[in-house]
Amino acid sequence: MKDVKGLVVTGFGINCEEEMAAANRLAGAKADIVHLSEVFNERTSIHDYDILNFPGGFSFGDDLGSAKVLGNKFRFKRMASGKLFLDELKKFLNEGKYMIGVCNGFQALVKMGFLPNASGNFEQEATITHNSSGKFEDRWVTCCVNPDSKTPFIKDIITLDMPVRHGEGKLIFKDEATRQIIIDKNLNCMSYAGKNGQPTTEYPQNPNGSELNCAGLCDPSGQVFGLMPHPEAFLSVYNHPNWGKKKRQNPNMSDEGDGLKIFKNIVNHIKENS
């Protein structure tokens, strides 16, 4: 069975790379943290890896809107050889490989046109903007998974708890036609959930007011997955603010956090299909 390798990019204000690498390693993959300049200068190739990880942070200080500068850099950057980085990302997906973006990484994937990519043209079809609350949200939320989603990242997950840490997490689609394609193709793969485990518009369970109560999107292939909550921040049950209560109610529960399931899913999927 092949060794799965994850590339975790960093630099330009990304600051969750260590947690993202830990998630890959705990899930059974090898993980390298590499500055994006090393990739752009072609001293490291994304094609040597199976999973491309875009972690959270505050790239370029969010000065022009969250991840807009980073998304443009990914889209228009020419590498040392003159190749467009965008073309290398498309080639990476054509090789059957996978991408995950969390928080700022999710914002970048949306703004560079990789999510939801409902049309298949890699054009921006949505944006992520200021929370409806008008403030930075730092809280734990519960998310529910669309059972009809085809992305392997969330296989066999029904609900999961994760923290959110963002000021701009409200997802808005460019038009009704795009919104309908997202519904029809089940690209809205993860939603903020209420106490009943069902999608909710209620604040604070829905921390940002996203359309379709969306906490995460995948592309039509299922290879690209992004979400605003931080799965890499819940790798152990002891990360949870109510871990003591959870343990008392279920003493035999696993010590693994809900977020680790996402990374184990993709690592196991790659191994099984290698």
E strand segments, the chain: 5-10, 30-35, 51-54, 98-102, 126-129, 137-145, 159-166, 170-173, 188-192, 214-218, 224-227
Residue 221, CA distances (Å) to 106, 129, 230, 253, 270 in order: 17, 25, 23, 33, 15
Q: Which residues are catalytic?
A: 103, 230, 232
Q: Is the pLDDT of residue 81 over 90?
A: yes
CB 16 within 8 A of CB 102: yes
All residues at 6 or more sequence positions from 23 whose CB lies less than 8 Å from its CB, including other chains: 231, 232, 235, 259, 260, 262, 263
Q: Is the pLDDT of residue 65 over 90?
A: no
CB 267 within 8 A of CB 29: yes
Q: Are strands 214-218 and 224-227 parallel, antiparallel or unpaired?
A: antiparallel
pLDDT digits (tens, 9 = 90+) for 226-261: 999 999 999 999 999 999 999 999 999 999 999 999
Q: Which residues, listed in sequence order, are joined to residue 199 by a DSSP beta bridge?
A: 193
pLDDT digits (tens, 9 = 90+) for 16-42: 999 999 999 999 999 999 999 999 999
All residues at 6 or more sequence positions from 25 whose CB lies less than 8 Å from its CB, including other chains: 31
Q: Nearest 5°: CA angle at 180, between 94 and 196?
A: 100
Average pLDDT, the chain: 96
Q: Are strands 126-129 and 98-102 parallel, antiparallel or unpaired?
A: unpaired
CATH number 3.40.50.880 given to 5-272: yes
Mean pLDDT confidence for 89-108: 98
| pLDDT value for 4 | 98
| pLDDT value for 254 | 93
All residues at 6 or more sequence positions from 245 whose CB lies less than 8 Å from its CB, including other chains: none
